Amino acid sequence: MEFGTLLIKTPNSRRRREMARKIRVLVAKPGLDGHDRGAKVIARALRDAGMEVIYTGIRQTPEQIANAAIQEDVDIVGLSSLSGAHNNLFPKVVQILREKGAGDILVFGGGIVPVDDIPGLKKAGIREIFQPGASTEDIIKYIKENIKTA
Domain at 34, CATH number: 3.40.50.280
Instruction: Evaluate whether residue 83 is within a structural domain.
Output: yes
Instruction: Evaluate whether residue 37 is within a structural domain.
Output: yes
pLDDT confidence of residue 19:
54
Instruction: Evaluate whether residue 15 is within a structural domain.
Output: no
pLDDT confidence of residue 111:
94
Instruction: Evaluate whether residue 57 is within a structural domain.
Output: yes
Bigger pLDDT: 117 vs 149 = 117
Instruction: Evaluate whether residue 3 is within a structural domain.
Output: no
Instruction: Evaluate whether residue 112 is within a structural domain.
Output: yes
In this model, does residue 78 exceed pLDDT 80? Answer: yes
Query: Which residue range is the domain that position 101 belongs to?
Result: 25-145
Contact between 95 and 121 under an 8 Å Cβ cutoff? The reply is no
Instruction: Evaluate whether residue 9 is within a structural domain.
Output: no
Mean pLDDT, rounded, for 113-134? 97
pLDDT confidence of residue 148:
79
List pLDDT tens digits, range 11-25. Answer: 444 344 445 689 999
Number of separate domains in the chain: 1
Percent over 90 (pLDDT), the chain:
82
State pTM to two decimals: 0.85
